[in-house]
Amino acid sequence: MKAVVRTIDGKTPQLGRGVFLAETCAVIGDVVIGDHSSIWYATVVRGDVMAIRIGARTSIQDGAVIHVTGGRFGTTIGDDCTVGHGAIIHACTVEDSCLIGMGSTILDGARIGRGSLVGAGALVTPGTDIPPGSLVLGAPARVVRPIQPKEREQIEQGAAHYVELARRYLAGGGESSVG
């Protein structure tokens, strides 16, 4: 079984070096994934009507959906990010070094500032602008306080953990981009 990597309207996903694609993920259309990033099981990255850009060393975990809004918003996820299981990232920007918690939803035109943590189950409504280094919780999501040094360290460790885990999967014969 192989990951679905599909061209649409002449646009084929571009994968960086050492990208891990789990066998049951789908990556479609105008998508660029940076070096040493990972797209895990049952995840959909669908750049069919606008572009999706995923930075280096970023993990999109199991069951997440990354999509866009045609004619309005693409999606950008920065370097060293972790997008948790079952999250929906829709037509928005997630800057570098963010953790997006399991089951959270970020909607059209929102921006999550660098180094922020969006808690599990949070709902970031359309057009919300989250300042860098924020802890964001709730539905609708609100900034509750600045990120603490220990939380920043956990975000960094989480991103590094998934780079290493993806490397182990690739070494075991999993899907890859360029090696």
Q: What is the pLDDT of residues 113-171, one digit of tens each?
A: 999 999 999 999 999 999 999 999 999 999 999 999 999 999 999 999 999 999 999 99
Buried-state track 122-140, b at ≥16 Cβ within 10 A, e below 16:
bbbeeebebebbbbbbeee
d(CA 58, CA 36): 7
User: Model pTM?
Assistant: 0.95
Fold of 4-171: UDP N-Acetylglucosamine Acyltransferase; domain 1 (2.160.10)
Does the pLDDT value for residue 178 go beyond 50?
no
Residue range 54-94, pLDDT digits in tens = 999 999 999 999 999 998 999 999 999 999 999 999 999 99
Residue ranges per structural domain of the chain = 4-171
